[in-house]
Amino acid sequence: MSTDGLTDLWDKLFGAQPDPPALLVLVTVLLAFVVVAVRPLWRIARNAVTIAHEGGHALAALLTGRKLRGIRLEFDTSGLTLSAGRPTGPGMILTLLAGYLAPSLVGLLGAWLLGGNRITLLLWLAVVLLLLTLINIRNAFGAVSLLVTGAIVVVVSWYATPQVQAAFAYTGVWFLLIGGLRPVGELQKLRSRGRMPESDADQLAHLTHLPALFWVGTFGLVNLVVLVAGAFLLAGQWLPDLGAPTP
């Protein structure tokens, strides 16, 4: 690749795109909320949350010195991340803690990039993260799920207009920020029925001797704070425009 080509690629990746209109921010947050709230839509889109959830477990395992054995993504939108290492201690605690926090935290990172209008960079980082996750996938459905998701992001980032890219990126980030809360509620609902005795919260309770409900509450509180912070990054600069009277 020539020097000019590298310069163009650098500018494309790290250059700031124009500010999207305030209406786009409003429409995308409403769209993301509908996808999270409507059960048939959530059943499909929840795969993206599961990918982030299991990716959070995997990253935390690697950062704490555990050996990653693999990731499975299932058709029912559940997932499993296997790692080897000490069954107790800070590394295991952080690995378990990361799953339910990861979707919201990924959304917060996306909101920070969008706050700087780095839309293209966000989309390409998403592709890189999906490829890194794909390397560690150990079942066919998980591989197909990641390939399809990655292909959609590649097509949008490479061929779509800036307006479509902005709408796609904002909807995706809003979805992660809002969607990070719903699995926490689902977790507690299933736990109350005795259907998830080995959930992340219950395993944390066993390791720390703090009740599982404490960890469920921690997941929910952290994700709620992250949602507020992400919303400020995404919409804070447009709030005066959104509330302004029409001339």
For residue range 5-18, what is the model confidence (pLDDT) as tens digits? 556 555 566 666 77
Mean pLDDT of the chain: 90
Residues 166 and 118: their CA atoms lie apart, in Å, by 10
Q: What pLDDT, in 10s, does the model give residues 157-191?
A: 888 998 999 999 999 999 999 999 999 999 999 99
Residue 9 lies in a domain: no
In a domain, 96, yes or no: yes
Residue 101 lies in a domain: yes
Residue 53 domain-assigned (yes or no): yes
Check residue 21 and give its pLDDT: 87
| Contacts of 177 by beta carbon, 8 Å cutoff, 6+ apart | 32, 104, 107, 108, 111, 226, 227, 230, 231
In a domain, 244, yes or no: no
Number of separate domains in the chain: 1
The pLDDT of residue 165 is 93
- Looking at the domain assignment, is residue 140 inside a domain? yes
Assign 247 a pLDDT band (cuts: 50, 70, 90): very low
Q: Nearest Cα to 56, choosing from 92, 122, 124, 105?
A: 105
Q: pLDDT tens across 15-50, in order? A: 667 788 889 999 999 999 999 999 999 999 999 999
Beta-bridge mates of residue 70: 82
Identify the residue with better confidence: 106 or 236. Answer: 106
Q: Is the predicted pLDDT of residue 81 greater than 60, yes or no?
A: yes
Tell me: pLDDT of 154 over 90.
yes
Closest among 188, 221, 179 to 32, alpha carbons compared: 179
Stretch (H or E) spanning 80:
strand 79-84
What residues make up the domain containing 151? 21-238
Whether residue 1 is predicted with pLDDT greater than 70 in this model: the reply is no
Does the residue 26 lie in any domain?
yes
pTM of the model: 0.91
Give a yes or no: residue 6 inside a domain.
no
Range from 11-15, 131-135, 140-144, 215-219 carrying the lowest mean pLDDT: 11-15
